[in-house]
Amino acid sequence: MRVLFWGLALFAGAFFSQLIIWKIRLPDRQSKTLLQIFCCIFLGGLFTIWFTGLVFQPLDIIPPQGLSEYLHVSLFFISFTFAYLITYSAIEVDSPSLIMILAIQKAGENGLTKEEFEQSNTDDILTLPRINDLAHDKIAYLQGNKYRLTPKGFLLARIFNSYRKVLNLTAQGG
């Protein structure tokens, strides 16, 4: 019960901190800021719980006991944080798949003809915003009329390509 309570309490503290910060001003690099918020709340919260011996009086929940429970709380929090970060990236910016689904949904019961679909889903809508995001996050840059990867971009490409090889996936996803 202690692990569940303190893991959720830390996560809720980080989540509500994010909401407050987002209400004040939406950060330029949201995922990076999210990671910073969650790390600070996690480390600060664990230190506070350990140092003060904080007891949650209404439920008589004492702090984690021993290294093992602190590790369990940490694993719980980190797992939730990574799941949240992955989910957040899907809602932060409209993905091409989401844009297409929303276009079809907007057409309603009548559906969307192939021609209307192709006209409404151009590279300007599906591809260029993603390229701009890559440049904004310093993963790629435009040199002359060619896009090139930064060292950060090469690292990401290497990680994803290695992961695809491990899973035996082709470039088309299957």
- Please tell me the total number of residues recorded for the chain in this structure: 174
Q: Can you list the pairs that 114-121 forms with residues at least 24 positions away whose Cβ atoms lie under 8 Å? A: 121/96
Per-residue pLDDT of the chain (174 residues; tens, 9 = 90+): 888 988 999 999 999 999 999 999 988 888 889 999 999 999 999 988 888 877 666 667 788 888 999 999 999 999 999 999 888 877 777 778 888 888 899 888 888 899 888 888 888 877 888 888 888 888 899 999 999 999 999 998 999 889 888 988 876 654
55 contacts 65 by C-beta, under 8 angstroms: no
The answer to whether position 75 is within a domain reads yes
The answer to whether position 111 is within a domain reads no
3 contacts 76 by C-beta, under 8 angstroms: yes
Integer Cα distance of 103 and 15 in angstroms: 31
pLDDT at res. 36: 95
The answer to whether position 54 is within a domain reads yes
Looking at the structure of the chain, the number of domains it has is 1
List the domain range (segments joined by +) for residue 44: 2-92
Integer Cα distance of 77 and 39 in angstroms: 10
The answer to whether position 100 is within a domain reads no
The answer to whether position 114 is within a domain reads no
pLDDT at res. 169: 82
